Structure formats: structure tokens, C-alpha cells
Amino acid sequence: MINPAWALVFALVAPVAGGLVAGIDRKITAHMQGRVGPSIFQPFYDVGKLFEKEQAVVNETQTFYAICYLVFMIFTGALFFAGGDLLLVIFALTLAQIFLVLGAFAANSPYSYVGAERELLQILAYEPMVILTAVGMFVATKSFNVSDIATSASPVILLLPGIFLGFLYVLTIKLRKSPFDISTSHHAHQEIVKGVTTEFSGPSLGLIEVTHWYEVVLLLGFVYLFFGFSPLIAALAVAVVYILEILVDNTNARVRWQLAVRSSWLIAAVVGLVNLAGLYVLSGGI
Amino acid sequence: MTYLAKSPWIIHYDASSCNGCDIEILACLTPMYDVERFGIINTGNPKHADIFVVTGSVNEHNREVILNIYNQMPDPKVVVAVGICATSGGVFRECYNVAGGIDKLIPVDVYVMGCAARPESIIDGIVTALGILEEKRSKNIHSAPVTDHHENKEHNNHSQGGAS
């Protein structure tokens, strides 16, 4: 059931794929704003540059937390792509995120603190919907194992349209896109001075960037699960979802954290639970 | 293979500038000039920055801020003084409250002339700075933290009851 080869493939290929996605994202964003934009390899140049810089840390444990963030993100993604348990994947993802928060709290800096607190609020905002996604997957395919869900013949998207919409809503938070780029953002470089990443510089900032690439690939893997019955449609859906996220990113202003938390909980409660209840009634119980 | 020259992140500080040069710096980021196509990003955090772009001259209020930003930037780093005020103090150089150009306080690597400096010359200045940045990296030059030796006499005098 667990296929270690896929875990290895994820660990090696995901940073390349994630970096390219980030580069294409910047190019499309630039074109949407009427600019030429950097090369699609720019994220690799950026991270390469960060590793050439001096390691200036406020607190020694910061680097440890940044490494933990990367290690647990690789673990999460490897478990997902190897076909492991979806619930374990979600909890490992939260653990990885908590290490980023700890890293931000490790430095005694007001900007870093605000960023860490906002990161915690983001976790609070998206977590219910992500767990509902796993529950929905179980109801639709009778399994929590990613290997079973991905190869399931049942059209998950048709059974879980509400949960899919809810997941797209919190995906904006996870991808750090406007209107929910509350803790840190790819565009607003001066706003709350980059939030959680304020006190990270040089190589440790590079680690956080690479971790984000892993995370993006993992999240797009979640989108794939909804279309597991047809790999072609799934690949197309992943591309459409990401372009939609870029469009939303470029056409929305940031909202306050109160609205982010309330609205994502409301969406989870309404579309997620209604979808689950409907599925429950239709299938005559689990 | 070096990545430093392909991804210069700048931090921009307005040290008592009239805003003329600042507007020209921001003009570089607009679709017209779009410096992001060279990977240049205007960060707001000295810890993420490689190039310190300063406009305006040094005075009593901003010398602490300039030092703070400069000392927080990780090596390798370069300083670009944009506009004639940052270069020498410009028309304000003899004012009682102006200490002079940015090089009175921190080592400056590139001077960009003009009042206000044109976006083309600012981009040229940044590109020149990239060469210096790369040289500093290859020679492993570490910029020592700068401390302010300037004694704040006026303030001390005020606390002691006026001018001496």
C-alpha cells in the first residue's frame, strides 16, 4: 500500500516542480499587471542567492526550527505521495507549520511575533476545512489511504462538489495568496515587514522558500485527489485551479484576519457539512 | 555559477529626501521600467536585502536609522546613494541640520547623480552595484558593523540647561 519509491520521487522532484510553479506564477502575475516579469527560473536564482548570503541569526534555535519545518514538510509530502493515511498527512502538515510559527516566536521581535500570531490564526482558519476534506474523501471512497483515494473509480468531485469549493477557499490561505496572505506574502514586501519570515535571513530564509515549494506540490496533490478517476482531467484541473488562484491573488485586496477566520469557518460549516450530510443521506449511512 | 547578481533584493530608505528621488525609485518598479524582470525586488526588511538604496542626506534624526539598517543587512551587501543629496548633501550641504552625504556615516559603493535621479540612472547604479556585490562575494569581504562616533552634544547640552 505504501510505496516508498513515490516518497523518494516526491523528495527529489517536488522542489524542482514547486520552484517552476512559483516561477510561472510570477511570470503570469507580471503579465496580468502589464509587466514583462522575471525569468521562470527566478525562484531558483533567489534561493541560490539566499544560500550564498551570510547566516545572520537572532537566536540559534531559529535555524533548527527552519530545518524542522523543511523535514516535516518533506515527511508530509512523502507520506502523501507514497499513498499513506490522509489524516496522518494532515496532522503532519500542521506539525510542520507549527515549526515555522515556533521559528518566528524564537526571535524577540514585534514583527516576527505579529507574523507568528497571524500564522496561527491562518492554521485556525483552514484546519476545519482540511479535516472535512479528509472526512469527505472517506465517505466518498470508503478509505483514508491516499493510494486508494487516488485510484478510486468513483468520481469524487461529483460526490464532493461543496467540499471541493470549500477546499479551494482555504487553498488560497495555504498558498499565501491575496486576499488571505495574512502572515506573509509573496508580493507585499513592506507589509508588517514580511510577517513570519522577518527574522529569517540568508540560508534559513532559503530553507523556508524551498519548504513552500514542497507545500505547493503537496496541496496541488490534494486537488488531484478530487479527480483521481481520470489522470488527464486531474492534471487539467490542477492547472486551472492554480491559474484561478493567481487570478484571485491579483484581483483582491488583503482582508482582515477576523474575516479570514470567520469566512473560512462559515464556508467549512455550510458547504462542507451540507455536502457531507447530503452524501450521508444519499448513501444511506456510512 | 553565482546567483547573487541574478536576484538583487533592495531595501530603500528615505533619509530626509524631498521625495523626488524616492518617486523615481518607485517609478523603476512600474510596468514602464519593470526592474523585477532582472529579479530586483524592493523588500521592506534589511535582513532580506542585498542592496541598501538611500536617498537624501544624513541628519540627526536619521543617522541612527541608517546605521541600524546597514548593520542588520547580512553580508555581502552594497550601499547605493541615489541623488545629489545622498551623494554630498546637495544644496542642503551647508544647512545647520545636515551632516552631508551618506558616506559621512556608512561606506557607499555607488553614487547616482541627479536631482532628481532619473530611473535610467538609478537602474544603471543598481547594475553597477551588482558587479561590486559579486566582487565582495568572491573575495569574501565582510563589512564591519559601523558605529556612530558622533557625539550628540546639543542634546547633552539641553539636558544640562542650554547651549555651552
Q: What is the pLDDT of residue B125?
A: 92
Note the pLDDT of residue A177: 87
Q: What pLDDT does residue B152 have?
A: 52
Residue among A33, A42, A201 minimizing CB distance to B39:
A42
**CB contact burial A69-94 (16+ within 10 A = b; e otherwise):** bbebbbbbbbbbbbbbbbebbbebbb
Euclidean distance between CA atoms A54 and A71, whole angstroms: 22
ipTM of the complex: 0.84
Whether the bond into A161 is cis, omega within 30 of 0:
no
The DSSP output letter for B38 is: G
Find, in chain A, the residue whose alpha carbon is nearest to that of B76: A53
Residue B159's pLDDT is what? Answer: 47
Q: Is residue B150 part of a domain?
A: yes
Distance, CA of A15 to CA of A229 (rounded, Å): 26
Burial (Cβ within 10 Å: 0-12, 13-18, ≥19) of residue A130: buried
Determine, yes or no, domain membership for B126.
yes
- Among chain A, residues having any CB pair with chain B shorter than 8 Å are 26, 30, 33-39, 42, 44-49, 51-56, 189-191, 193-194, 197-202, 205
CB-closest option in B39, B42, B48 to A45? B39
Cell of A53: 548570503
Q: Is A36–B37 a contact, with Cβ atoms under 8 angstroms apart?
A: yes
Interface test with A, best of B1, B2, B3 (most A CBs within 10 A): B3
Question: Which residue is closest to B10 within chain A, CA to CA?
Answer: A189
DSSP assigned state of A198: T
Confidence bin at A141 (pLDDT 50/70/90): confident
Contact A189 B44 (CB under 8 A): yes
**CATH number of the domain where residue B132 is located:** 3.40.50.12280
Q: What domain range includes position A106?
A: 4-282
Q: Looking at the 3D structure of chain A, how many domains does it have?
A: 1
Backbone φ, ψ for residue B58 (5° rounding): -80, 135
Q: Give the type of residue at A35.
A: R
Contact flag A52-B34 (C-beta cutoff 8 Å): no
A193: which chain B residues are within 8 Å (Cβ-Cβ)?
A: 44-45
Q: Which residues from chain A sit within 8 angstroms of residue B1, using beta carbons? A: 48
On chain A, the residues whose CB falls within 8 A of the CB of B142 are: 54
Task: Judge: A189–B42 Cβ closer than 8 Å, yes or no.
Answer: yes
pLDDT in tens, A47-95: 999 998 888 877 888 889 999 999 999 999 999 999 889 999 999 999 9
- Tell me the pLDDT band of A193, cut-offs 50, 70 and 90: low
Question: Smallest CA–CA separation between B99 and chain A, in Å?
Answer: 28
Number of domains within chain B: 1
Share of chain A above pLDDT 70, in %: 98
Which backbone phi and psi does B50 adopt, to 5 degrees?
-110, -30
pTM of the model: 0.90
> Which candidate, A30, A16, A10, places its Cα nearest to that of A249?
A30
Strand partners, B13: B54
In a domain, B164, yes or no: no
Closest residue in B to A199 (Cα) is B47
Phi, psi angles (nearest 5°) of residue B53: -100, 115
Residue pair B56/B99 in contact by the 8 Å Cβ criterion: no
Contacts of B78 in chain A (CB under 8 A): none
User: Which domain covers residue B66, as residue numbers?
Assistant: 4-159
The residue type at B146: V
Q: A231 to chain B nearest CA, in Å?
A: 35
Say if the Cβ atoms of A42 and B76 lie within 8 Å: no
pLDDT in tens, chain B (164 residues): 578 888 889 999 998 888 999 999 989 888 888 888 888 888 888 988 999 999 999 988 888 899 999 998 988 899 999 999 999 888 888 888 888 888 888 999 999 998 889 999 999 999 999 889 888 888 877 777 888 766 554 544 444 444 43
